[in-house]
Amino acid sequence: MNPLAESEKPTVLLVDDTPQNLSVLSGLFMDFYRVKVATGGARALRIARSDPIPDLILLDVMMPDMDGYEVCRHLKSDPITREIPVIFLTATSDVDSEQRGFELGAEDFIRKPISPPIVLARIKTHLALKASQDFLRDKNVILEAEVLRRTEDLLAAQDVTVLMLASLVETRDNETGAHIQRTQHYVRALAERLKDRPKFSSYLTATRIQLLFQSAALHDIGKVGIPDRILQKPGRLDSEEYEIMKTHTLLGRESIEHAEARFGKSVPFLDMAKSIVYSHHEKWDGSGYPDGIAGEAIPISARLMAVADVYDAITSKRVYKGAMPHDRAVAIIEGESGKHFDPAIVEAFIDLQSEFRAIAARFADPEDEMLANS
């Protein structure tokens, strides 16, 4: 083994309560390693946690106050030092003692009196193993960071794609403005408020809440298939026109199903989008459409969307109506509790009034912003 330049030398910590032993070992290692020494367990632990962190520790078993086993236990329980290889130095050949040391996390045992060539060879082997493990660990950290970055990029691209699809509706019904973004945030606010309630907790996991936020953007995607004469009519729809408008729920669900068929497998946020698109006009009392289902038969995602959608619709300006004040909109939704809306969701909505107003202000339509700033 050739001596190394000082800057290239690994650091070895020697722990022994006998100064003569430390002197002998230091002399043996000084050409190959940067050597630190400690004459007791407490000092050894302090040095092990100090920069530079040792690359390996040679640890005497029999020491007063704190023996080598106790020192090893502390080293292996500390995130800062747990990866440092520990080699015990012992004068005994007791199998039970060695087993105890390995169970505590030691890498090896060397018996006294030491053989210099064996000690140097063992240390070289364990340092090489540690270097390989450190390399693989660093590689894994880099790979995990890269996977996370790419996943975030894919999710961002997915969000952009969803908003692009949802914006197709706005190109034909441009008075909806920032309706998509507002309703997304309303739905998420409601879900966050309800997630700890027994009725909703098993469904409203963190993952599903994120999927809800994404999927909510597609709630009116089916309106792309509604004729302009109906979608852009500057007034209320007659009964025949209204029946045609109601078909946007089916058109929206079918468009997502066609996309899934082409993709060849189910996508979680599209599964949720289908339930929102198809059922967000159902009513708690069964008087909604397209299927007239009632109560908890209506998907939770659609029930959340119903409150968010109606609040935004009545507080926004349309060609056939003006924007309703917040307080009046709240009164209407509260009055529809148990009829149009799930009472538990209405209760959450009432609790979130200030947050709804903040979302509305944050994503205000341009005309509303100008009025607010005038």
Domain borders along the chain are 8-142, 173-373
Low-confidence residues of the chain: pLDDT under 50? 1, 174, 369-374
pLDDT of amino acid 165:
58
- Please choose, from the candidates 219, 354, 221, 368, the residue with its C-alpha nearest in 3D space to the C-alpha of residue 282: 219
β-pair type (86-90, 108-111): parallel
pLDDT of amino acid 369:
46
pLDDT of amino acid 367:
55
Residue 282: is it exposed, middle or buried by C-beta count within 10 angstroms (0-12/13-18/19+)?
buried
| Residue 18: alpha-carbon gap to chain centroid | 52
CATH of the domain spanning 173-373: 1.10.3210.10
What's the fold here for domain 8-142? Rossmann fold (3.40.50)
How many alpha carbons lie under 13 Å from residue 292 in its C-beta half-sphere?
1
Give per-residue pLDDT as tens, 84-107: 999 999 888 788 888 999 999 999
Give per-residue pLDDT as tens, 122-157: 999 999 988 888 888 778 777 777 776 765 655 555
Q: Where are the alpha helices (DSSP H) in the chain?
A: 19-29, 41-48, 68-77, 95-104, 116-172, 179-194, 198-201, 206-216, 228-231, 239-246, 248-263, 268-279, 300-314, 326-335, 343-351, 353-362, 366-373
% of residues, the chain, pLDDT over 70: 87
Q: Kindly list the strands in the beta sheet with 11-15, ordered across the sheet, starting from the edge strand earlier in the chain.
A: 34-38, 11-15, 56-60, 86-90, 108-111
Give per-residue pLDDT as tens, 343-369: 999 999 999 999 999 999 998 876 554
pLDDT of amino acid 370:
36
pLDDT of amino acid 97:
86
pLDDT of amino acid 41:
93
